[in-house]
Structure 1
Amino acid sequence: MICFIENMLLQIHISPTNIRRVELPQRPQSVDQLKSFLSEKCQLENGDFLIQFEDLDFNNELCNLNDINELPAEKATLKLLWEEVCPSQGVAGDSNSVSSLDTASMPSCHSGDQSPESSVLRNLRSAEKWPSTFNIPTFPLDVELRLRKANEVYQQTNKPLNVSREMKSQILDKIVQAIFDIKAYPDAYEIQSVASCLVQKHPCLTEPGKRTGWDGWVMSIKFKLGNYRAKLKEAGCSELSVNCKRKSCEGMVERPYMKKPKRAEVNFLPDHPEGHTEDSLEEVRLAMINEMKKKKKDLTVIHRQMQETFSLRRKEVVEIQPLVEEIRERWPGLFLKEEICMEFSRIFNVDLLRVN
């Protein structure tokens, strides 16, 4: 039995599109008691999760909750993270990943056991905004060992590491992948923050004679990121394929026609969920229209269909740019109050009702 001290109101982020309001009759006395309550209240199958909270002392940045006294007194926003282990990956060091998942996707790692909604969630970015401190990824083991020894030497002699071309390529590969997971087109100051964090974590990579010590890394990351985008575009990544050259009105000159995400758009043009094509998603869209015509609508079914067809809807909005009436005709479910909020959350990873 859980003992409480005082009332509390929580907003629980289980996944980017599964955000719940939970009222506690009283305040829990420990983090374990809070986990137990959330598992029961939100019907979470896997109770082994990490709780993060918005820390008021650090401009609402997320922090791990280790002490229940760190929570605000009356209201708090929490985010749940699970450590999901997938033995089928078969690569030591890469089999563990911490991610925010929907209840339907836990704890199995097999695609046959996952719902359409969880498949869509894996296809979307989860970061709400560029982190204040970029998390430098772990590099291949041989690179990490060299950096560790070189950092020790740098601490004693201030002698930087002479980075080989192969080693630099391995470092940049990991960094640009981590950048793309957050943003396809980062701003100049964001790339600078990555280079700065890289040198702070590995001082041996400081460039001698440079004004900041990481100016060269900024240029290297920019070029590597551009090459990485080119590879993804060639592979068929929707968010990048939309940025292609099209003929002008005269039909003579080709001009770049760029359709980049706005600053706050996290999921601008995602690829279709695994196992889906435009034809299969079109069938789901038609089923959604039929459900909307019913006198007694099943909002749960409509939400699942809207979630599943998000990539198809974004493709139409970005590439075709239809009129509002055309969108209303093709996507009537989008004009439900609940789905307006959910669509905003899918694109921006922000709760519309909490935006000031």
Structure 2
Amino acid sequence: MSNMADIAPVRLLVILNNDNSVRMELHNGVPDSVDELIEEVKRFCGLGRYVRLQYKDTDFGNIFVNMTSTAVVKDLSVIKVVELDPDSATVVLYPVDDTGGSLLSDTLDNEDNSPGSAHSDDTVLCSNSPDTLRTQQWPKVFPIPLFSFDTESQLKRGNAEYMKSQSRLMPGSKMLSDILERLAEKMYMYKAYPTDADFSDVAEALTKTHPCLREPGSFNESYGWKQRLKVKMANYRTLLKARGTTAELTVNSLKSKSLEEAYPAKGLKRPRRAEVNHFPTLPSGETPESMEKERISLLTELQKRNNRQSVKEKMVKTFGYRRQEIVHKMPSIEDVMERWPALFQMEEVC
């Protein structure tokens, strides 16, 4: 039997989406099965449960093909992660072994017999209504949310053990996924695009709240968590964007860009200062056409005397439409004054 130390690490480039990829090293070599490799990738990148791996097939012009065997994975291979929607049916073909048994049936048997194998969606979307506006800026001290009952129980025991012997808790894939999911949801409540400093705040708050998760030797003992959170937040935005549930993300999709700006990292619409609601969604049931009618009605209301309350209500109702127009079209001050004169009244300025 060869010594584990003699195994050279396998270096992989893992593509998570169009503008997000990470370098990963398999220090114990390539796993024997695709499922084991998926678990390794999920743990390293902080991904949810429903993913599929693809590899570059040189026989077909380096296009990405679904991975059915880890024999195709070599040092310096490029693999791609495809997040799956658990609500949709996905057919993946598996090779049949010499005994006539399907690898798929073996996989399902192992999964059903494994602890915590309930078929639940690990990626939980925010429960807030799409047209709910943010009401708070990024907090000075980030509040760590409560995790699932199982995760909280393990953290409680881990923290107690850490206080006694300084021993760290090594979270499993299910626990890691739960922690990252809840933190991504919480971060999104404040910002869709957290900064590098924001990720540092969250990672430090996590390891201060749960010291058993500290990473000795890394910056602030939380650098690894910071990197996992960055990957998870990017994946969370991708999922929300695919669902079309939030305008501030769909505005940055390639479909929403002109041909000149049809690149993932070009012309991104992000908050530049302290905007809490940078690109809000239109009110439920409203369309750009109905909002344009409200804008025209607002111009009429401005001509009436002692009509401040009606003007205020219409300004509130058209807030999302106005923000989208200003952020997306970037009109001149003259155009804004012409279309939204109420915005320059004393009550709105103050």
Deviation at 1:145, TM superposition (A): 1.1
8 Å Cα contact 1:244-1:257 kept in structure 2? no
TM-score (norm 1): 0.58
Query: Counterpart amino acid of 1:168?
Result: L
Relative to total residues, which structure has the larger strand share, 1 or 2?
A: 1
**1:187 Cα offset (Å):** 1.4
C-alpha distance 255-264 of structure 1, shift in aligned 2 (>3 A): closer
For the 8 Å contact 1:150–1:204, the answer to whether it is kept is yes
Cα distance in 1, alignment partners of residues 345 and 331 from structure 2? 19
Of 123, 129, 132, the match for 1:123: 132
The residue number in structure 1 matching 2:193 is 185
Q: Please name the residue that 2:19 is paired with.
A: none
> Does 2:181 correspond to 1:173?
yes
Matched, 1:332 2:341: yes
Higher Cα Rg, which structure: 2
Report the equivalent of 2:281. Answer: 271
Q: Could you tell me which amino acid in structure 2 is paired with residue 307 of structure 1?
A: V
SS of corresponding position for 2:266: strand
Q: Amino acid of the residue matched to residue 291 of structure 1?
A: E
SS of residue paired to 1:257? coil
Inter-partner Cα distance in structure 2 for 1:325 and 1:214: 49
CA shift, 1:247, in A, is 5.5
In structure 2, relative to structure 1, the CA distance for the partners of 1:211 and 1:336 (3 Å cut) is: closer
> Equivalent residues in 2 for 1:181-220 (5 A)?
181-220=189-228
Alpha-carbon distance in 1 for matches of 2:206, 2:289: 44
Deviation of 1:254 after TM superposition, in Å, equals 8.1
User: Deviation digits for residues 105-131 of structure 1, max 9, x if unmatched?
Assistant: xxxxxxxxxxxxxx99x7221113x22
Contact 1:134/1:194 (8 A) holds in 2: yes
**Equivalent residue number for residue 73 of structure 2:** none
Provide the rounded CA distance (Å) in 2 between the counterparts of 1:238 and 1:282.
17
1:309 aligned residue: 318
* Secondary structure of 2:143 counterpart: coil
CA RMSD of aligned residues (A): 2.6
- Separation of aligned partners in 2, 1:289 and 1:328: 11
Aligned counterparts of 2:271 and 2:323: Cα–Cα separation in 1: 12
Query: What SS does the corresponding residue of 2:283 show, helix, strand or coil?
Result: coil
Measured at CA, do residues 164 and 235 of structure 1 come closer, stay the same or move farther in structure 2, by a change above 3 Å? same
Counterpart mapping for 1:84-99 below 5 A: none
Aligned residues: 221
Query: Quick one: percent identity of the two aligned structures?
Result: 37
Match of 1:229 in 2: 237
1:1-356 mapped onto 2 (5 Å cutoff): 123-128=132-137, 130-236=138-244, 237-245=246-254, 246=257, 256-294=266-304, 296-341=305-350
Answer yes or no: is the 8 Å Cα contact 2:215–2:222 preserved in 1: yes
Structure 1 stretches of 4+ moved >3 Å: 244-249, 251-255
Shift of 1:248: 5.8
Deviation at 1:269, TM superposition (A): 0.4
More displaced stretch, 202-211 vs 331-340 = 202-211
Secondary structure at the residue paired with 2:147? coil
Q: Which runs of 5+ in 1 are unaligned?
A: 1-96, 98-118, 342-356
